[in-house]
Structures are given as structure tokens and as C-alpha cells.
Chain A
Amino acid sequence: MDCRKCAEDMTAFMDGEISPSHTALMQSHIDACPACAEEYASLRKAADLVQNHHRYVDLTPGSWNLLHARIGPESRPSIFDFFLIRRWSPVMAMALAGLALIFGLWSYHRYQESERALRSYMAEYIRVREARTQAYHLTSTREGRARFEYLDLRDEENPFVVVHGTTEDNPFRK
């Protein structure tokens, strides 16, 4: 242990912040070296002066009551809130997201279904119309029937109409 190292660690030695083995080395150096002993003594005195003569302020009386009033029961989350917010909210969020997803898929499925139904209904409608027109042309030109007669021709009797469904099958009539 040299004086430079001893001076460097003197504060930590004084504060008890060095290892026991290093403390023993420091102590034996200070005991043997008058310069370091003097240095240590003056550091110690300065530390004592601060420790014994620093001004301490006191809390004003009733400071706890003031604080207590500020930290009412509503200022901190209750145990219930704690569980709800900290622990259950991810679970609840996931459950809600799951429900939203299921509802979304269901809605989409229903939309797709109605789209399909509309398309097939429209296709059927167009086919029936075309069949009627065709029947009208054939009957009116070949047999000289009245122009509007085709309107009376029932689909079941029309050879060009393939009946797939009735008007009651129209999903948009409901």
C-alpha cells in the first residue's frame, strides 16, 4: 500500500465501503504513516463537522394528514381495479377480439351467401325473361298469335323455361 493509493481510497475507507481485507491494509498503513494519518484525521474531522452541524428541517405538523387527504381511496386503483386492469384486461381484450372476429366472419359469410343467392336469382330471372321472349317470337311469328300473348304463357308450359324456383325462393322478398 502506497500513500497515493491510500489517499485515493480514504473516503471509501472512512465510509466503510471497502472490503475487509483492504480495510486491514489501509488501517495498518495509516497506523504506520504519519502523513496519511494526518490526512485521515482531517477528513474525519470535516466529516464530523458536517454530520454534527448540518441544519435539519422538520416536516410541518399535520403533514401526514395533508398527505392522507390527498391519497384518498380513489387515488389508487383498488384490488378489484388492479385485477381488472393489470391482470384480466389482456384476457378480456383477447376475448373481445375473438368475439369481434367470429361476428365478422359470420357477417361476411352471410353477405357472401346473400350475394350468391342474388346472383343465382338474377341469372334465373334473366334466363326466364329470355326464354319468354324467345317463346313469344316463335309463337307470334309461326302461329300468328297476338303480340302480348306470351304474357299468359305459364312458365311450366313454356318449353324454353326451366323452372328452378318460385318467386318465394327470392331471398329479397322476405
Chain B
Amino acid sequence: MDWVRKAKKGDIGSFQRLYEAFARRVLNFIFRMVNSAEEAEDLTQETFVTVYQKLGTLKENDRFEPWLFRIARNYIYQRYRARPPNMVSVEELDEDGQPVTQIPDVRKNPDESYQERELEDVVERTINALPEKYREVFVLSAIQRLSYQQIAEIVGRSLPSVKTDIHRARLAVRRQVKDYLKV
């Protein structure tokens, strides 16, 4: 966390290294929570402006990552309060009982296979269908690969409660994708 130390002293180059290392992850965490790539990009910018301004207040440099994600989370919830999130309600289910969600057009590659796209849609729908409380810990754990301890710090809850919710989210996700699991 040498970059954190240098960025704290105002070294813009080190701050850029931090941005390059973490911005994409922050963007995707926010994206999974707000379900809009454009809004996620906007909130990622806000997050890093705040990080730059408040970096001096971070006491332990090796806690940078959970601190960063907590700032991002604050922005997500601020936006939620200002405007209801792009969430799936019970009414928005298709004939198979699957939630109907807007899938943003953010394809990695135009000629990726139909099967790959279908799997991506399934995963996306499944994550979006998780209640907010489970979704955030699931995304931070299963996608961002943060430790339970870090997640507890980010969401401001106890370690056992975070552990239980991640487990429940995993079970719910498995239920949703069971038809796509190869035997």
C-alpha cells in the first residue's frame, strides 16, 4: 500500500495507480447494485473524488480497500434515497416466474456465442433478483472476492451476520441457476 502512502502526500501519480487498480472493481460493484452502467460510471467518479479529498483521514493504509468500497456504498445508498433503485419488484416477473430486468448493452464482444450471452443474462437476472441486503454482500464476496472481514467493515455489520447472509445468498443463487449447472 505504498501508493496509498504516497497519494496521501499528494502524489498524483500514485493516486492514478490506485485509480487504475481499483476503479474497475468499484465500477462493477456499483453497477451490480444500481443496474445502470452510466450511473455506475458517474458514481465511480464521485467515489474517487471523495477518496482523493479524504485520503488524509484514512488512518490505516492497509484498510484502503474496505474504506474505498464503503465510500462507494455510501454513494449507492445516497442515490437510492434520492431515487428508488432500479430494482426488480414482484410484479415484474415473466410467465416463467423469472424477474424481468433491463439488461444493459455492455457486451464484451459482439461475436461471443449465444450460449455465453444466455449464461450472462441468467447470472445478471439472478443477482438483480436478490434483495438489496443479500445482493451487496454477495457481490462483494462472490464477484469482488473480498474477505468476510472486509465486507463486514464495508456494510457495517457483524462478521457472523455477514457470513449468514452470504451463505443464504449463495443458496438462493444456486436455486436460480440450477438448470444451468452441468452435471
- Chain A residues close to B by CB (< 8 Å): 8, 10-12, 14-15, 17, 42-43, 45-47, 49-51, 53-60, 63-64, 66-68, 70-71, 75-76, 78-79, 82
Contact = CB atoms under 8 A, between A and B. Distances in A.
A8 B171 CA distance: 11
Interface in B127-141: 127, 141
A64 B181 contact: no
A60 B42 CA distance: 11
Contact of B181 (A11, A45, A56, A70): A45
Instruction: Classify chain B: how many residues form its interface, as a range.
Output: 35 or more
5 contacts: A46-B173, A55-B120, A57-B41, A63-B44, A71-B49
B49 A12 contact: no
A66 B181 CA distance: 42
Nearest to A54: B123
Contacts of A79: 9-10
A43 B174 contact: yes
| CB-CB nearest 4 A-B residue pairs | A46-B174, A11-B167, A53-B119, A45-B181
Contacts of B60: none
Given A51-B142, A67-B45, A57 B174 contact: no
Nearest to A10: B167
A57 B31 contact: yes
Contacts of A11: 163, 166-167, 170-171
A8 B142 contact: no
Contact of A49 (B24, B52, B180): B180
A57 B123 CA distance: 14
B153 interface: no
Interface centre among B56, B104, B116, B123 (most CB of A within 10 A): B123
